[in-house]
Structure 1
């Protein structure tokens, strides 16, 4: 993969990067027409390496990997901690080449847990800064038989402190060259994602996917046919993603106030 300002090229895969939008503009979200279906306030944390029986597992359900951090089994105080209703995900340098960090998934390897077709999904979080950090809030389709459907509600590259990225992916598992990804860079005041909590949200229905920053719409896309299925939630702190990690703070910490899902009334 190679990167140029405003563009991404990946061999054998179609990547589209939409033009910039202003995060302060767009329609406000009206949640009066929704009901809460999943509410994680992080007053405590129900997590295990692989389940079952916990609200979250600490690994990618299909046993995959991405980035330059290893998602580790939770142990007391690392990589997860909860205090005053705030979850912290800590990433630190391990003994080997990999950083050690945490991921939360709302279903286990059998697809058991929380998933939902359509609705509004939101996270309120304060992100870590520094070159190489890569926090993310994602939705993944349950059915991965022929395609993996993915919505990146938010992924932030620490090398770009004045923006974050929202994406829609359709990964073709049988013919990877047919995979398509569409991206939107959402500009923000430089460093503002590290200074305070913000909400990152997406609404999905049969026709349209709409992305929100602080409940202001920043982008929308037609819903691909592969997205008409239940999606589950991933929240993680990783690093790299093709960007150098030299100079990345050790440790780096992501703070999450809540994760919620809503369905139309």
Structure 2
């Protein structure tokens, strides 16, 4: 990552009239070399004390009022998320501050499926056709029929149906970009509308190439119909996965049923974002709900495989080990049960 190092200005040439300087009785102020900074996510900036009164035994204590935006250690500020933070330096009975504005990373569009045609673009996607349960005891049969998946009115529509089909009681669809469109770092964004009803389990997610869970899984968005006010996200890896209940996960519960409207789901996957470690951020409608951070321990244990190409998956499951944990309300099939995707877009850093 790029590091922004802010050089200490000469004590003799630097003067300050900032109103955040605190005056001591001896007339000497605690003064920093900056009163405000603007940095990008992942950058660091160094702020230094340029003058301070003599106070026996005192040391400068640094703090941040918003560590989701910026942290500080001995005057080194690390920008961890977009927004505003106030960094304070306290010395004895004096305190002064630096206003820090952290701006988001800048991306450019590199690929998109806007679903503007009359059929699925098979240059981007393949159908997965099976009734194997998806490894989660799901109850549907995934088909490539128009009844279960169609492109209509500028949207991808996956419809789950209650019907007998090849030994299953439900049908739906699942598509993958495997061997067609791969993604490594960058940003994935989708505008989507989940179906209502107990027993539904729509998802937008990614898998690495290779055996699960060693190759990794990124669940960008999962929704289970019995918990209609919540969206979920997760990572699955070699030693930390859903089979042993140790997977990293996040989510948010809202005041409204998330199936009532469209939502924009975003995953930012940033290489070497903080101190040489990757991070994955998941946001809903522009609000960050979870940051997954690589650590040396995860890297050494094989639990951070997220430095290789991954492919996208979009599916609507019925029942299963999570979606069906409270059963299936079959009355929902009196109406259409639809998972609608307006677009999927991929970006890379400029």
Which TM class, normalised by the smaller chain length? 0.7 to 0.9
Q: Which residue of 2 aligns with 1:189?
A: 255
Equivalent position to 2:290, from 211, 216, 219 = 219
Q: Which residue of 2 aligns with 1:10?
A: none
Q: Which residue of 1 aligns with 2:281?
A: 210
Q: Are 1:199 and 2:264 an aligned pair?
A: yes
Find the residue that maps to 2:195 and give its secondary structure: coil
Report the Cα offset of residue 46 of structure 1: 3.3
Report the Cα offset of residue 180 of structure 1: 3.9
Measured on the aligned residues, the alpha-carbon RMSD in Å equals: 2.9
Equivalent position to 1:161, from 222, 225, 228 = 228
Report the Cα offset of residue 148 of structure 1: 3.0
Find the residue that maps to 1:227 and give its secondary structure: coil
Q: Which residue of 2 aligns with 1:258?
A: 343
* Distance of 1:248 and 1:31 partners within structure 2: 45
Report the Cα offset of residue 231 of structure 1: 1.1
Q: Are 1:90 and 2:159 an aligned pair?
A: yes
Equivalent position to 1:233, from 309, 312, 325 = 312
Which structure would you say has the larger Rg? 2
Q: Which residue of 1 aligns with 2:86?
A: none
Q: Which residue of 1 aligns with 2:172?
A: 101
Find the residue that maps to 1:129 and give its secondary structure: coil
Q: What are structure 1's unaligned runs of at least 5 residues? A: 1-25, 49-53
Equivalent position to 2:120, from 20, 40, 46 = 46
Are the counterparts in 2 of residues 131 and 248 from structure 1 also a CA contact under 8 Å?
no
Q: How many residues align?
A: 226
Change (3 A) 1:133 1:198: same
Change (3 A) 1:35 1:236: same
Higher relative contact order (CA 8 A, sep 6+): 1
* Distance of 2:223 and 2:197 partners within structure 1: 11
Are the counterparts in 2 of residues 27 and 217 from structure 1 also a CA contact under 8 Å?
no
Q: Which residue of 2 aligns with 1:149?
A: 216
Written as runs of structure 1 = structure 2, the 5 A alignment for 1:52-131 is 54-59=123-128, 65=134, 66=136, 67-72=138-143, 74-75=144-145, 77-95=146-164, 96-107=167-178, 112-131=179-198
Change (3 A) 1:30 1:216: farther
Are the counterparts in 2 of residues 143 and 229 from structure 1 also a CA contact under 8 Å?
no
Report the Cα offset of residue 32 of structure 1: 6.9
Find the residue that maps to 1:90 and give its secondary structure: strand
* Distance of 2:244 and 2:225 partners within structure 1: 30
Change (3 A) 1:178 1:86: closer
Find the residue that maps to 1:249 and give its secondary structure: helix
Report the Cα offset of residue 137 of structure 1: 0.4
1:8-67 superposed Cα distances (whole Å, 9 cap, x missing partner): xxxxxxxxxxxxxxxxxx85797771111220000123356xxxxx32111189x88242
Q: Are 1:246 and 2:329 an aligned pair?
A: yes
Find the residue that maps to 2:250 and give its secondary structure: strand
Q: What are structure 2's unaligned runs of at least 5 residues? A: 1-80, 84-101, 272-277, 295-302
Find the residue that maps to 1:194 and give its secondary structure: helix
Q: Which residue of 1 aligns with 2:109?
A: 36
Are the counterparts in 2 of residues 148 and 172 from structure 1 also a CA contact under 8 Å?
no
